[in-house]
């Protein structure tokens, strides 16, 4: 009886370990399309899990946020060796909430450098950020074959100009010291003229 009990607890203890071990196996088994492999050559190494929801199957990866605007996030997918992929842009809605470290976080509260969970579709090259709730519909942003373009200054916004970073204080201070020296000179002249 005791032997059965210890065997049972051993089997229970193994469950999480087996579950963890299955994650990379799922990543090994899943078939990525050629287009996806062309956009993300290291996807299999970066893959942490595979999720199937409805007719969508996607790989789970970790990504660092490099740029955030109200409607678009740019991330770099993390590889197991700590290196990053090229930047990839993801469209977001202004009122969207993301899962950041297990906590629901509003888009405007996400900061660069934060590690986010991202989904990469296994069929078509598309990427999405993990929503706050698992039940939410995941909308993928297509990943083009060309690299993420450099940001352009919006035509409506004035281009930044060099700031004015000099004050008149050194000039005022210098004039002040010259005047003090002149005052001392006049005092010397007065003393000499009296003598």
For the bound state, the minimum distance from the C-beta of residue 52 to another protein, rounded and expressed in Å, comes to 32
Single residue of 8, 21, 69, 80 touching another protein by CB under 8 A: 69
For 30-109, where are the alpha helices, taking DSSP H only? 34-39, 43-46
Please state, in angstroms and as integers, the Cα–Cα distance from residue 175 to each residue in 166, 170, 188, following that order: 17, 9, 20
Does the footprint of another protein cover residue 102 (CB under 8 A)? no
Nearer to another protein, 27 or 92 (CB): 92
- Distance from C-alpha of 38 to C-alpha of 36, rounded to nearest angstrom: 5
For the bound state, the minimum distance from the C-beta of residue 145 to another protein, rounded and expressed in Å, comes to 17
- Determine contact, residues 32/122, Cβ cutoff 8 Å: yes
Dig out the tokens for 188 from the structure: 């010397």
For the bound state, the minimum distance from the C-beta of residue 79 to another protein, rounded and expressed in Å, comes to 12
Single residue of 28, 109, 124, 134 touching another protein by CB under 8 A: 109
For the bound state, the minimum distance from the C-beta of residue 16 to another protein, rounded and expressed in Å, comes to 26
- Determine contact, residues 19/12, Cβ cutoff 8 Å: no
- Distance from C-alpha of 118 to C-alpha of 85, rounded to nearest angstrom: 13
Residues that bind another protein (CB under 8 A): 64-69, 74, 82, 84, 87, 109, 111-114, 148, 150-153, 157-167, 169-183, 186-187, 189-190, 193-194
């Amino acid at each position: 009886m005791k032997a059965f009990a210890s065997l049972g607890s051993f089997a229970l203890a193994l469950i999480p370990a087996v579950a963890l071990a299955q994650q990379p196996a799922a990543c090994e088994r899943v078939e990525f399309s050629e287009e996806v492999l062309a956009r993300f050559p290291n996807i299999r190494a970066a893959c942490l899990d595979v999720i199937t929801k409805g007719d969508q199957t996607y790989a789970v990866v970790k990504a660092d946020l490099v740029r955030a605007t109200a409607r678009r996030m740019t991330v770099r997918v993390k590889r197991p060796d700590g290196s990053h992929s090229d930047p990839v842009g993801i469209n977001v809605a202004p009122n969207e909430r993301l899962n950041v470290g297990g906590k629901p976080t509003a888009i405007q509260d996400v900061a660069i450098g934060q590690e986010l969970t991202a989904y990469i579709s296994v069929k078509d090259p598309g990427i999405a950020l993990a929503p706050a709730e698992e039940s939410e519909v995941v909308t993928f942003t297509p990943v083009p074959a060309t690299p993420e373009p450099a940001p352009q200054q919006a035509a409506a916004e004035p281009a930044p100009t060099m700031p004015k970073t000099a004050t008149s204080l050194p000039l005022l201070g210098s004039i002040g010291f010259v005047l003090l020296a002149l005052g001392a000179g006049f005092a010397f002249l007065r003393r000499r003229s009296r003598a």
